[in-house]
Structure 1
C-alpha cells in the first residue's frame, strides 16, 4: 500500500503517546474544525449581544467535541493510524462515538435557529431553509432507527471485513472520506437518542435507551472477533513498517480490545445525558401542571366568591 498519497512517510519511529500528540495538520479537518468553532462562537456572541442567555455547558461540550476531532485528525495519531490498526481504532472510536455525543450536547442546530434572523414575510432565508430541512422526509428517513442502527453496524462489519476498507486506505481522499463517514454516522445515530436539538424522530426516553442498546453490543462483538482471530484479518495492517517494531497480530488484538472497551464509554455518557434530560422534562411538566392547577383553582375560587356574593345580594 502506498502511503505517500496521504502525505506521510513509511519510516515512522515506534509509537509513543508523546509522538502521537505532535502536531500534524490535515487541512480538511483543520479548516472544518476552526470554521465550526468560529460559527458557534458567532452564534453565542449574537445571542449575548441581544440579551439572551446560552448555557455555558453547551458551549464547553461543543468545544471539547471539536477539539477531540482535532486531536485524532490533526496530530501524529493520524499518521500512525495509517500503519497501526490499534491507533486507527482509537481514531475511529473517538470520531464516531465520542465526538458526536459532545457535539450534539452543544445543541448547534438550536443555537443556529436562535441566532439567525427571521426572514421577511414571503421570503426564505437561511433559518427558513434549515427549518424546512429539519421537517423534510429525507431527514425523517436517515434519523429513523430502522436506518441508523443498520448503518451503525454496517460501518464496522461492512467496512473492515470487505475490500472497501483496503480501497479507502489506499489514498488520502479515501481515508478522509472514511473519517467523515464515521463522524456522520455517529451524528445521525446519537441525534435521535440524546441530541438536544429538535429533530423529526424523537421517541420516548425508554425507546431511546432501547435504540442505544440495540447498536452498542455489535461494537463489542466486533472487538471480540478481532481479539480472538488467529491471524491478521485487515489487509492494510498485515505488514506494518519494520521501523515500528510491532507484531501485526498483537496490534490487531489491541485494536479489538479498544473497540470492545470503548463501546462502554458512549453508553455511560448517553445514559447519563438521557437521565438528566428525562428528569428535566418531568420537572418542566410538573411546573406546567402546577401552573394549570393554580389557574383552575383561582377560577374556582373566583366563581365560588361570586356565588357567595350573589347569595348575599339576594338575602338583602
Structure 2
C-alpha cells in the first residue's frame, strides 16, 4: 500500500483514511452539542414553568445553531475535512460564520440570567463576569477584528495549521477555536445579549464591514495560488478523484462566498434592531411629552382657579 507524506494510504477509501487520522473526533462534538442543547432547553422549560415567556424564534435559532455545528462535525463531513481542503473550509466557515450568528440570535446569556435564581450567587457571578475588565477587552473591536483576521492568515499561511492537523487534540482545539472566534466577533455586533458598553448601530456595521476585504482577499489568494498553500492537503487520496489545486480553489471560493452571505444576514438583523430601538425611543419620548403636557395643563388650570378665587 502506498503512503503519502502524512502517513495515510492514497489507495484507501476516503472515510477509512480520515477515521485513521482522527478516530472519534466527532464524538466530542456530538456530546458537546447534546449537552449545550439540553441545557438551553432546560432553561426554556424552567421559564415556562415559572410563568415567564420566551420567544419561540430565539429557541429555533439556537437549536439551528447547535445543529449546524453538529452537521459539520458529527457527520461524514468531519472525516472528509481531514483530507480535503474544501471540506475543511466548509466546516471552518459554518462554525465560525453561520453557527455563532444563529446561537447569538438565541440570546443564551439573557436566558441564563432569567433562568438563574434572582439574587443568587450564580447569577451575581455571571453579571460580574459580563461587566468585568476581561470581558470588555475580549469584546473590544480592536481585539475581535484582530483575532478574526489572524485566525485566517496566521493559521493557514504558517506551519501552525499542519502542526495542529497532525494530532486529534490539535484538530479538535482548532475547531473549537473557530467556534469561539465567531462567538467573540459577532457577540458585540449582534447586541442581543447584555454585556459591556456596546457601540452604536452604525459603528457595529462598520466593524462588520471591516473584515470583509481581508476575508475576500484570503479566498482570492487560495483560488489564484499555483501550488498547495498547506502541506496537509497537498496530496488528497486518489479515490476522491480530485487534485490539490482544484480542491484548494474550491476552498477559496467557499471562503469568499461566506464573507458575503453571513454579513448580509447580520446586516439585516442590525437594521431591524436599529429600527426597533428608534421606535422604542420615539414612544418613550412621546410618553414623556404627554406627561409634561399634562403637568403643564394642570398647572394652567390651577392658575385659572386661583384667579377665580381672588
Q: Deviations over 1:270-302 (max 9, x none)?
A: 100000100110011011111111111111111
Q: Does 1:62 align with 2:58?
A: no
Report the CA distance between 1:2 and its aligned residue: 4.5
Report the Cα distance in structure 2 between the residues aligned to 1:194 and 1:219, rounded to whole angstroms: 19
Report the CA distance between 1:177 and its aligned residue: 0.3
**TM-score normalised by length of structure 1:** 0.91
| Shift in alpha-carbon separation, 1:2–1:202, aligned structure 2, 3 A | farther
Report the CA distance between 1:93 and its aligned residue: 0.3
Count residues in correspondence: 297
2:15–2:80 CA contact under 8 A, matched in 1: no
Q: Deviations over 1:130-186 (max 9, x none)?
A: 111101111111110111111100000000011110011111111100010000000
Q: Does 1:53 align with 2:53?
A: yes
Q: Does 1:167 align with 2:186?
A: no
Report the CA distance between 1:95 and its aligned residue: 0.3
2:61–2:102 CA contact under 8 A, matched in 1: yes
Report the Cα distance in structure 2 between the residues aligned to 1:253 and 1:234, rounded to whole angstroms: 13
Report the Cα distance in structure 1 between the residues aligned to 2:191 and 2:148, rounded to whole angstroms: 17
Structure 2 counterpart of 1:87: 87
Structure 2 counterpart of 1:205: 201
Alignment gaps of 5+ in structure 2: 1-5, 17-23
2:298 to 302, 305, 315: 302
Q: Deviations over 1:119-139 (max 9, x none)?
A: 36xxxx111111111011111
**TM-score normalised by length of structure 2:** 0.92
Structure 1 counterpart of 2:3: none
Structure 2 counterpart of 1:12: 14
Report the Cα distance in structure 2 between the residues aligned to 1:105 and 1:3, rounded to whole angstroms: 41
Report the Cα distance in structure 1 between the residues aligned to 2:222 and 2:63, rounded to whole angstroms: 33
Report the Cα distance in structure 1 between the residues aligned to 2:7 and 2:131, rounded to whole angstroms: 44
Report the CA distance between 1:231 and its aligned residue: 1.2
Q: Deviations over 1:12-46 (max 9, x none)?
A: 179xxxxxxxxx87121111111111111111111
Equivalent residue runs for 1:177-188 within 5 Å:
177-188=173-184
Structure 2 counterpart of 1:18: none
Q: Does 1:101 align with 2:97?
A: no
Secondary structure of the corresponding residue to residue 26 of structure 1: helix
Which runs of 4 or more aligned residues in structure 1 lie more than 3 Å from their structure 2 counterparts after TM superposition? none
